[in-house]
Structure 1
Amino acid sequence: MIYSRADGYQFTADPNELETYETARVHVLLTEVRRLITGTIAPHAALDPGDKRIRHIVAPLNSVKSTLDLIA
């Protein structure tokens, strides 16, 4: 199933349409992760770089960001 503002939800088996939709979704997720890291996590980490909880949050988010970068 894919979604577009113009056509709404649709079922498709067209690989090109699926790839276009998947790439667009990955870009949205990548933007969200980048904003979370730069807008929320990084400022907190700057205040307390030794915070164990922040280090445990940053590592997986950076991994997700790297993976989405590869896909996009």
Structure 2
Amino acid sequence: SPNIAFLPVVSLPELETWFETWAFSETIHSRSYTHIIRNIITEPSLVFDQIVTNQEIVKRAESVTRLY
């Protein structure tokens, strides 16, 4: 979450608000995809489980999160 990465080092209220808004948008984004997957896939757990087992997904996530 942007909050975890940036709020500890930001002191401007405008930036704090921007990071909070960004985090809110990320939450909506995540919940939207979750809702879609749960409603169009017969066994959504097969898709969700791949998030932590698919090496391409894991590699991409690690490349982004190491910057945080």
Given the two structures, how large is their TM-score scaled by the length of structure 2? 0.44
Structure with greater strand share of residues: 1
Larger Rg: 1
Structure with greater helix share of residues: 2
